Amino acid sequence: MGNPTDAESRLTFRVRYYETDQMGYVHHANFVQYFEMGRTEWLRSRGDTYRNWEEHGVFLVVAKLACRYRRPACYDDELTLITRLTKVGVAKMDHTYELLRGSELIATGETTLACVDRDGRMQAIPQEFLDRTDTKIE
């Protein structure tokens, strides 16, 4: 893989009733949770977990987040979230997201994660973690 733009994962799930608002649509705040699910599964698909990183004192915090809502999603819709790692820096990484219902685009998003230590200070992403996920710093 090596090239972050090759790093993609897909997660399919159903909208649960409690995720919807009074109008029957997925509440906008839940899209942020979906993106987190995507990042977690992206890492797991590469044989690693956030828990492992954290046990080694490496924490990834959301430094920037954007979401563009295009269509509503409703209770029991089957959605597919495509998560891509698009850029890796010395101490940060960027992901993009596409949320689909079938072939219909529901939302897109972007996040930047910063790598910090237990005290919240920026730190470089350790090489062993880059190697484990087969990614390189740009």
Question: HSE of 94 in the Cβ direction (CA atoms, 13 Å)?
Answer: 13
Beginning with the edge strand found earlier in the chain, give each strand of the sheet holding 7-14 in spatial order.
7-14, 78-88, 92-101, 104-116, 59-69
Number of domains comprising the chain:
1
Instruction: Provide the mean pLDDT of the chain.
Output: 93
What DSSP character marks residue 122? B
Evaluate whether residue 137 is within a structural domain: no
11 is in which domain, residue-wise? 4-132
CATH code of the domain containing 93: 3.10.129.10
Buried b (16+ CB within 10 A) or exposed e, 4-25: beebbbebeeebeeebbeeeeb
Q: How confident is the model at residue 2 (pLDDT cuts 50, 70, 90)?
A: very low
Evaluate whether residue 32 is within a structural domain: yes
Evaluate whether residue 35 is within a structural domain: yes
What's the pLDDT tens digit per position in 25-82?
999 999 999 999 999 999 999 889 999 999 999 999 999 999 999 999 999 999 999 9
Strand ranges for 18-77 from DSSP E: 59-69
For the entire predicted model, the pTM comes to 0.91
